[in-house]
Structure 1
Amino acid sequence: MIVRRYGMKLKELLVNTEYKMINDLNPEISDVVYDSRKASDSTAFVCLKGYTSDGHKFAKSAVQSGASALVISDELDFEVPENVAVVKVENTRLALALMSVEFFGRPAEELMTVAITGTKGKTTTTAMVAEIFEQAGIKTGTIGTLGIVYNGETIKTDNTTPESYEIQKAMRDMINAGCKAMVIEASSIGLKHHRLAGMT
């Protein structure tokens, strides 16, 4: 069994990501975050660009909170300290997904995964497929409109298809709880934002 690795080197997390190092640093990374309020010592902060906000504007705050690496797609408006690694990528959402896959030990390699997409019926179909697995004796978790569900517990999520980091974390947690399969609702916005990238 692959277990989640704490304290991975930055370049280990970037192994499947196309990137350019702005400075040649390779710090130890304790976590990957995309909310500057969650940045702390030794975290890698990924600057996501949304419809109403841009993570690049919060990069300075993340550094002040202890982030040791920044993953960017645009130029920053402040001078980054010399001890903070800066990684430039074309798409930070894709980078977050691929980094999360590595951080959580590639859980899709251990978990039979089914993604359900379409305009209507995703939630119902997800529940039906999960029940088929359960009836076959395969312990199954689900991710979708109802939240992250496994072991009889439900964790609420903000989106039908959560951010890639949350998906990878949930998959690792499901594996640790004994799940052998997962069924996930793949929304169009989730696919557009690469939230399921790196899972095949």
Structure 2
Amino acid sequence: MKILRDILYKVRLDTVIGSTDLKVNHIHFDSRKVKNGDVFIALKGTVSDGHDFIDKAIELGAKAIVVEDMPVDKKKNVTYVVVENSHEALALMAANYYENPSRDLKLIGVTGTNGKTTTTSLLYQLFKNVGYKTGLISTVEILINGKSIPTKHTTPDPLTINDHLAAMRDAGVDYCFMEVSSHGIAQERVAGLHFAGGIFTNLSHDHLDYHATFAEYRDVKKRFFDGLPAGSFALYNKDDKNGPIMVQNTKARKLGYALKTYTDYQANVLENQFGGLLLKVNGHELWTKMIGEFNAYNVLAIYACAIELGLEEMEVLEAISKLDGVSGRFQYFTTVKDKITAIVDYAHTPDALKNVLETINSIRTKNEKVITVVGCGGDRDRTKRPIMANVATTLSDMVILTSDNPRTEDPQAILKEMEAGVEPQNYKKAITIADREQAIKTAANMANPQDIILIAGKGHETYQEINGVRHDFDDRLKITTILKNLDK
């Protein structure tokens, strides 16, 4: 059990009615999980308001209620705590409840539009491979020194984060690498965490369904670096025009990395092919299995991070050269007979799709076709749909517009919005097939020897969400099965 007063440490309090010296069992923001002796925190969300479930929580045994708005009807023997921001309060209370585990290991946060999963996953691989006990909190999975835990959100809720960090601490983990999303920052999910360093990858069009403007999206990301403590480091992509903005007010030590600008950590692409990249990093040649200029930035970021965390330079270079790619990120398969190459990539923003297609076009011989299969998710940023289709049809020889995760939207309506982005000169390049499996099969049937098929948008995902229901669907499994049949 914990003392309520102790887990309220550093929370900005407005009013307290009742005792904070009482012993409590656990913290919950979901009233359905409350049991006798627990604390319930009422969060104001976009869909529901936790204040509507206060009575339910008390019926289930809550001894303390944390709110932004004091209830009119107050129950006896219940402590009421009014705070400025219940999302921030939840994060600080969660950290206190688990005894601030982020202070007992080195936690590195990675934020940006693209590259978060690749950067965190490669850092996890690198540090684990050189002998450290390592943790990972990413879109794909949560890893605690090799033990995998499935995850549903890029940045989990504060209770989940601190629970996992506490498990890492108890397992003796030295370093944890964590994706930090704009939603996670806006909703204060990372408040109360102590970061040893932060990495900014890049910023481009995404999440404008949640953030009203691009400027708001940028400023939310910046808040992460504003909150980094003195003694930590802030690594930023200096080639991205938003990089210097991210770190302009941080207390952390600022360090740039770039391919095109002179800065602290510098790299040049010497060779770029399907087999990998040859880079010159701070004067040293480095071969990596990663592909494309966008991955050159990711590799440079992990190199810089590893050096800042105290690893020896030659040890880092050798370790990077042995790293494997990340599932669903420029993952490619080739038929034996006709040498048809299929690439599966998570690219779900215009900039990510552009980066992948430009990489393919820089490697290809121009004697083959590039056939792209792409869709856009439902219940998400609608403004990027026509842009995605425009990018695909501009940089591909043939495009099949298809369904991604329509969620609760009509797939045909999503496709209509995508079709609006196809310019007249590219009309003949584009066809629409709503059924994603049929779209992938069609792309394979259209391919001639040496052609390249890009299947974009879902990457590592193993499901397709339709009308709120998740169905088994794995782009990698679908295309490998199809390619095996072509080889027969």
Question: Please, what TM-score do these two structures have when normalized by structure 1?
Answer: 0.92
- SS of 2:166's partner is helix
User: Partner of 2:93 in structure 1?
Assistant: 99
Matches of 1:151 and 1:137, distance apart in 2: 11
User: Partner of 1:110 in structure 2?
Assistant: 104
Matched, 1:8 2:35: no
Matches of 1:32 and 1:64, distance apart in 2: 16
Matched, 1:22 2:22: no
User: Partner of 1:36 in structure 2?
Assistant: 31
Alpha-carbon offset, residue 149 of structure 1:
1.5
| Amino acid corresponding to residue 64 of structure 2 in structure 1 | A
Matches of 1:83 and 1:157, distance apart in 2: 37
Matched, 1:143 2:130: no
Across the aligned residues of Structure 1 and Structure 2, the Cα RMSD in angstroms comes to 1.3
Matched, 1:75 2:70: yes
| Amino acid corresponding to residue 45 of structure 1 in structure 2 | F
Alignment gaps of 5+ in structure 2: 195-488
Deviation string 1:97-142 (CA, Å, 9 cap, x unpaired) is: 0001110011011111010100001111011111221123211111
User: Partner of 1:4 in structure 2?
Assistant: none
Kept in 1, the 8 Å contact 2:18–2:78? The answer is no
Counting only pairs closer than 5 Å after superposition, residues 47-62 of structure 1 correspond to structure 2 as 47-62=42-57
Matches of 2:46 and 2:143, distance apart in 1: 28
Alpha-carbon offset, residue 159 of structure 1:
1.1
- SS of 2:57's partner is helix
Kept in 2, the 8 Å contact 1:145–1:185? The answer is yes
- SS of 1:58's partner is helix
User: Partner of 1:3 in structure 2?
Assistant: none
- SS of 1:22's partner is strand
Kept in 1, the 8 Å contact 2:14–2:84? The answer is no
Alpha-carbon offset, residue 11 of structure 1:
0.9
| Amino acid corresponding to residue 32 of structure 2 in structure 1 | R
Matched, 1:155 2:149: yes
Larger Rg: 2
Matches of 1:58 and 1:82, distance apart in 2: 17
Kept in 2, the 8 Å contact 1:115–1:184? The answer is yes
Matches of 2:169 and 2:102, distance apart in 1: 10
Alpha-carbon offset, residue 144 of structure 1:
1.4
| Amino acid corresponding to residue 156 of structure 1 in structure 2 | P
Deviation string 1:46-65 (CA, Å, 9 cap, x unpaired) is: 11111100111111100000
User: Partner of 1:171 in structure 2?
Assistant: 165
- SS of 1:74's partner is coil
- Given the alignment, which residue of 59, 64, 71 partners 1:64? 59
Matched, 1:121 2:107: no
Kept in 2, the 8 Å contact 1:147–1:160? The answer is no
Matches of 1:65 and 1:24, distance apart in 2: 19
Question: Please, what TM-score do these two structures have when normalized by structure 2?
Answer: 0.39
The structure showing larger relative contact order (alpha-carbon pairs under 8 Å, at least 6 residues apart) is 1
Matches of 1:176 and 1:32, distance apart in 2: 20
Deviation string 1:2-21 (CA, Å, 9 cap, x unpaired) is: xxxxx111111111111134
Deviation string 1:135-181 (CA, Å, 9 cap, x unpaired) is: 23211111111132224332223311001111001000111122111
Of the structure 1 ranges 144-153 and 81-90, higher mean CA displacement relative to structure 2 is found in: 144-153
Matches of 2:169 and 2:140, distance apart in 1: 20
- SS of 2:109's partner is strand
Alpha-carbon offset, residue 90 of structure 1:
0.8
